[in-house]
Amino acid sequence: MISYLKGIVAGVQSSGSRHTLTLEVNGMGYDLLIPGRLAKQLPSMGDTVQIFTHYQIREEVPLLYGFGSPSERDLFKHLLSVSGIGAALAIALLDTLEVPELVQAIVTTNVQLIIQAPGVGKKTAERICLELKSKLIEWRKTAGFFVATQGPAPSILEEVQSTLLALGYTASEVSHALHYVSEDIGLPKDAFVEDWIRQAIAHLSSTEV
């Protein structure tokens, strides 16, 4: 089993949401299907990069998937274990939320954020949470990170998220903003909805380039 490959970036091809990295290792070219997020973070052509891999055979066709970290690769494998979740949906989830944010969304049953991934509906998001919640609570400790974000109280969380998403912010941006407002500013979780929204927008506006 191939755990990772370290080689030279020989090319990247994108077709819609499908991204293929050609990695040259010891004179051989490997084609790896990678998330769009990783495609944007790759070094320049000819530079060396280490990619963590997952090998899968689908309809007798061997496929090699590549990821930027072991935790991203392992979370991908967890997602594939959920009934009805294929590689395309798993990658869409990883492209929508960063690993800590996606894990936090699943363990807190934050369906509102999970359904921001293309092709993921409410029932699918609920199934992901149901099947992975207990597994990921333990796994995130061994994966080298622990998400401590409290965020708004559950009674107002959905309204805060819905408002920010409706304003055009991405799920990842919303998650980052709520983490900042909770941890760095220290806004009480039971503060008014308007306070959470105002502080989140202020932070998001300050980080825009």
- As a whole number of angstroms, the distance between CA 84 and CA 128 comes to 9
pLDDT tens for each residue of 61-116: 889 999 999 999 999 999 999 999 999 999 999 999 988 889 888 988 889 999 99
pTM here is 0.77
Tell me which residue of 65, 144, 132 sits closest to 102, measured CA to CA: 132
Residue 132 — pLDDT band, cuts 50, 70, 90?
A: very high
Residue 144 — pLDDT band, cuts 50, 70, 90?
A: low
Strands 61-67 and 18-25: unpaired
pLDDT tens for each residue of 4-63: 999 999 999 999 889 999 999 999 999 999 999 999 999 999 999 999 999 998 778 889
Contacts of 73 (CB under 8 A, 6+ apart): 52, 53, 54, 65, 67
Strands 4-15 and 28-34: unpaired
